[in-house]
Structure 1
Amino acid sequence: MPNLSLTHVIRESSLKDNAPLLILFHGYGSDENDLFSFASELPEELFIVSARAPYPMQPYGNAWYAINFDADKGKWSDNEQAIESRDLIAKFIDEVIAKYPVNKDNVSLLGFSQGTILSYAVALTYPEKINNIIALSGYINDDLFETQPEANYKHLNFYCSHGSVDQVIPVDWARKSPEFLSALNIKHKYSEFPVGHGVAPQNFYELKEWLTNLL
């Protein structure tokens, strides 16, 4: 559906209108079909939208922002591009709400890896647009937002999880998230699972239960 800012696929809700909305944001080098593969396992009342990142990669896949590898800096992220994607996602959320029969006051984001980093940034920059955030295998990059007053965040709720042997994003980076969220009195749950850079079955069951309880 090219008339929205991001290419995406949808799973319609069992509700005719005012459905709770869940938007999925994939990781670096993937596409909208990756996370969408488990949409059928999620509650049927959810209207699910899975978005494709805006930067095509070669030979395939997409990115929310470039990750560069060079001798001087080692591995580094293009934060300017990430901020552009953050704002594009915020615009996309508005477009989805305008186009589809969803409840603008019940919006959840689910990200994996780079999609999680952006989900944190969107929620902390535009908290008025979001209710719940599922943050899988990512971390908070505080270069991508400016912290707002606590009062703006009081309705937010985060589910954060990470693989304890993640070889792509160190678990130590993820372990800083609960401390950051606690300092702002933001509701959150943090879990670790004995896997690498991926989502274990028990991780999926836990996030599903967490989300279902909020609907």
Structure 2
Amino acid sequence: MDSPMIYELRRPKRIDQEKTYPAMFIMHGIGSNEQNMLSLVDGLEDQFFIFSIRGHLPQPPGYAFFTIQGYGKPHREVFDDAIIKLTNFVDYACSQYPLDLKKLFLLGFSQGAILSMTLGLTLGNRIKGIIALSGYIPGFVKEEYNIKPVDNLSIFISHGEMDQVLPFDWGVANNKYYRELGANVTFKTYQEGHTVSLQNQHDFMTWLMDQVKK
């Protein structure tokens, strides 16, 4: 079975054939690539299978998962296609690697965070946890997508208070929306712009390690 998307894989050096492993699916921001965010999870490969996925659309100097028609408004058909491709990739990874299906995690920054939060809604409790760094949930997703139950899903949402790309209020809205759906939400804010600070990284890694134990 061929992978539906290009990806970089990091995994434990020694694989116990009798075990399954937690999985992390990473989605980068616009104009970036599958190498960009791996430094954020250094060391995680000791116990995780890490799939860092490349966006399928050229967006110099890198790639993108979808295009945008206006502020906070992805092109619907392109976005829908990205969600289908990413869902197929999760299915592919689960069928090809020894993954613990009860410990699937998503991590995304900016465009990747938008996709991670959307996949959390379409895959629901199939996902154990999401780390969404500086993103938003498109209006058509909330209004028209088939939203699955998320009462067993945990999500770490962070946003820079001085974000000049995606307004801080959008992060507040993400927190409110997921809480109203019954998800277990951790919401962190930072005196930063559109970036991932060392403190943000420390906080989400601490959160992740706690989730893996549950």
Structure 1 window deviating more from structure 2 (38-47 vs 23-32): it is: 38-47
- TM-score in terms of structure 1 length: 0.89
User: Cα–Cα, structure 1 residues 48 and 74, in superposed 2: closer, same or farther, change >3 Å?
Assistant: closer
Q: Is residue 61 of structure 1 aligned with residue 69 of structure 2?
A: no
Is contact 1:20-1:107 (8 Å) kept?
yes
Residues 23-102 of structure 1: pairs in structure 2 closer than 5 A? 23-42=25-44, 44-58=46-60, 60-68=61-69, 76-102=73-99
Partner of 1:183 in structure 2?
180
- TM-score in terms of structure 2 length: 0.90
Is contact 1:165-1:171 (8 Å) kept?
yes
What secondary structure is seen at the aligned counterpart in 2 of 1:190? strand
Displacement of 1:103 in angstroms is 1.1
Task: Supply the distance in 2 between the matched residues of 1:101 and 1:126 (Cα, whole angstroms).
Answer: 20
Partner of 1:201 in structure 2?
198
Partner of 2:123 in structure 1?
126
Partner of 1:4 in structure 2?
3
Is contact 2:125-2:153 (8 Å) kept?
no
What secondary structure is seen at the aligned counterpart in 2 of 1:197? coil
RMSD: 1.9
What secondary structure is seen at the aligned counterpart in 1 of 2:206? helix
User: How many equivalent pairs are there?
Assistant: 207
What secondary structure is seen at the aligned counterpart in 2 of 1:89? helix
Is contact 1:116-1:135 (8 Å) kept?
yes
Task: Supply the distance in 1 between the matched residues of 2:72 and 2:53 (Cα, whole angstroms).
Answer: 26
Is contact 1:136-1:161 (8 Å) kept?
yes
Unmatched 5+ residue regions in structure 1? Answer: none
Task: Supply the distance in 2 between the matched residues of 1:190 and 1:79 (Cα, whole angstroms).
Answer: 27
Displacement of 1:199 in angstroms is 0.5
Deviations 1:94-123 (A, max 9, x none): 101111121122100000000111111111
Displacement of 1:75 in angstroms is 7.2
Is contact 2:73-2:138 (8 Å) kept?
no
Partner of 2:211 in structure 1?
214
Task: Supply the distance in 2 between the matched residues of 1:187 and 1:154 (Cα, whole angstroms).
Answer: 7
State, as a whole percentage, how many aligned pairs show the same letter.
29
Structure 1 window deviating more from structure 2 (135-144 vs 109-118): it is: 135-144
Q: Is residue 116 of structure 1 aligned with residue 117 of structure 2?
A: no
Task: Supply the distance in 2 between the matched residues of 1:183 and 1:39 (Cα, whole angstroms).
Answer: 29
Task: Supply the distance in 2 between the matched residues of 1:153 and 1:97 (Cα, whole angstroms).
Answer: 20
Task: Supply the distance in 2 between the matched residues of 1:107 and 1:134 (Cα, whole angstroms).
Answer: 12
Deviations 1:4-23 (A, max 9, x none): 01100111136533100001
Task: Supply the distance in 1 between the matched residues of 2:71 and 2:39 (Cα, whole angstroms).
Answer: 33
Unmatched 5+ residue regions in structure 2? Answer: none
Task: Supply the distance in 1 between the matched residues of 2:32 and 2:47 (Cα, whole angstroms).
Answer: 26
Residues 97-176 of structure 1: pairs in structure 2 closer than 5 A? 97-144=94-141, 146=145, 148=147, 152-176=149-173
Displacement of 1:44 in angstroms is 2.1
The AA in structure 1 aligned to 2:56 is P
Task: Supply the distance in 1 between the matched residues of 2:88 and 2:150 (Cα, whole angstroms).
Answer: 20
